[in-house]
Amino acid sequence: MSFLRSIWEEVVSFCQALIRTPSPSGQEGEVAELIQGKMEELPYDMVWRDRVGNIIGFCEGDPNKPSICFTAHMDHVDPGDERDWEYPPYSGVVANGYIHGRGASDLKGPAATQIYIPEILNRLHIKHGDLYIIQVVHEETGGLGSMLIDNDVKQRIDYAINGEPTSNMVCTGHRGRVEVIVTFKGMPMHASIAKSAGNPLYSLGEFLVRLRNLNMETDGVETSSAAPTKCQTGQNSSNVTPSECKLVIDWRNVPGEDENQVLEKLKGILPVGATATIAEYELRTYTGLTFKLKRVRAPFFINNDHPFVQAVVQAVKETLKRPVRVTRWSCATDCGYFMDAGIPIVGFSPAEMKYMHTTRDRISLTLMKEALECYPIIISYVSKLPKRRKFTERGRS
């Protein structure tokens, strides 16, 4: 497409700039400035930063057409030892058909393409409803940014597309995540006279056997899972039994199974004296706000027959001239926060899951081009769907 030739080098250069700007969770300030500055150069009607540091771009459209949001996140996981990388993690090197570096696939590559959507629509003179491009903070630590997008913005969004990796397929769901801490109490004693009844590690062993045999929930497609991941006693001496033992469980829950149901299942197999609680943690945003949150990510699922899903699938199929697979993510995303707000959401992205969080982090130039070609067709198809919201105020209140 001619429009793609005219902006392609800009998109690649901007993606490289994003990768070259480190933005660990809670330290997204510099990359947020970069994104906000680029949006202000492009044909957005309004661009602003909210209280937690999310960057929101708005393009006013036809009030009779549905509004649509494209969203990605600005933070990334730690790159680890630079010696393990073929290319330095913050280099943004273009080689062998990919842009390389930490966050390329999760999610700076998709973000770079999303941010140029208003420019594409402007060049193609495509009519559309209100458009929101939202780049959020703290996704890697539980989705704080998406959770706290202002309600006045969420109330104006009819449909949304998340940029987590899909290889230009369409994702319609995933399991959630509940982090649980199980605490086993005991009696510290010298190991030479200790008895099994007072040692919390024996209670831990009994519990692990019961956990392994626990019947898990299913939604007909996927099944919940419970994986013990970390165990701590706080005991430094090897000849003293611990006073307590804490076990961390990573529970992946299917739609229809919430955190309370997870706790009830675990309480049914706890040894006497043991307790199970949802893990909590404190997060600080780069804007200086502090929040205490539970380590819970909601599962989500939208039916493949939903008109919005079908519109996106047909648009991608028409653009790429090939069958489009509808699948689910294996990882958790921010989509649950949109669904909880009543916003139908799917995943569509040029990034590939096999590269995310690895030292081979990269994004395909070919898939990026495909996504840029798909966006205007997706928006055209979605613009034919009925509006879901009846709010008359627009943009930022």
Q: What is the mean pLDDT of residues 65-93?
A: 97
Is 101 in contact with 93 (CB distance < 8 Å)? Answer: yes
pLDDT in tens, 252-290: 999 989 999 999 999 999 999 999 999 999 999 999 999
Q: What is the mean pLDDT of residues 320-337?
A: 95
- Check residue 393 and give its pLDDT: 53
What pLDDT is recorded for position 73? 98
| Token code pair at residue 366 | 């070919």
Domains, the chain, with CATH or none: 2-174+298-382 (3.40.630.10), 177-284 (3.30.70.360)
Count CB-CB contacts under 10 A for residue 77. 16
- Among residues 145, 26, 35, 111, the alpha carbon closest in space to that of 77 is found at 26
Poorest-confidence range of 32-46, 150-164, 165-179, 186-200? Answer: 186-200
Write down the pLDDT at residue 397.
Answer: 40
What pLDDT was estimated at residue 198? 84
CA–CA gap between residue 291 and residue 52 (Å, rounded): 10
Token couple for 151: 């309600």
Rounded mean pLDDT of 292-314? Answer: 95
Neighbours of 387 (CB within 10 A): 14
Average pLDDT score, the chain? 94
Structure tokens at 382: 């979605």
CB 226 within 8 A of CB 215: no
Instruction: Encode pLDDT of 6-45 as tens digits.
Output: 899 999 999 999 999 999 999 999 999 999 999 999 999 9
* CA dist., res. 89 & res. 11, Å (int): 19
Max distance between CA atoms of the chain, in angstroms, equals 82
3-state secondary structure the chain: CHHHHHHHHHHHHHHHHHHCCCCECCCCHHHHHHHHHHHHHCCCCEEEECCCCCEEEEECCCCCCCCEEEEEECCECCCCCHHHCCCCCCCCCEECCEEECCCHHHHHHHHHHHHCHHHHHHHHCCCCCCEEEEEECCCCCCCHHHHCCCHHHHCCCCEEEECCCCCCCEECEECCEEEEEEEEECCCCECCCCCHHHCHHHHHHHHHHHHHCCCCCECCCCECEEEEEEEECCCCCCCECCCEEEEEEEEECCCCCCHHHHHHHHHCCCCCCCEEEECEEEEECCCCCEEEEECEECCEECCCCCHHHHHHHHHHHHHHCCCCCEECCCCCCCHHHHHHCCCCEEECCCCCHHHCCCCCCEEEHHHHHHHHHHHHHHHHHHCCCCCCCCCCCCCCC
The sign one gets for the Cα dihedral 187, 188, 189, 194 is positive
Give the mean model confidence (pLDDT) for residues 189-209.
Answer: 88
Give me the amino acid identity at 243. S
pTM: 0.91
Give the pLDDT of residue 4.
85
- Res 74 pLDDT > 90: yes
Q: Distance between CA 20 and CA 246 in Å, rounded?
A: 39
**Cα 178 from Cα 232, distance rounded (Å):** 19
Q: List residues bridging with 251 in a β-sheet.
A: 178, 226
Question: Which one-letter amino acid corresponds to residue 254?
Answer: V
Give the CA distances from residue 85 to residues 106, 109, 200, 350, in Å, rounded to whole numbers and listed in that order. Answer: 16, 18, 42, 22
23 closest CA partner among 51, 49, 54, 69 = 54
Are the C-beta atoms of residues 143 and 295 closer than 8 Å to each other? no
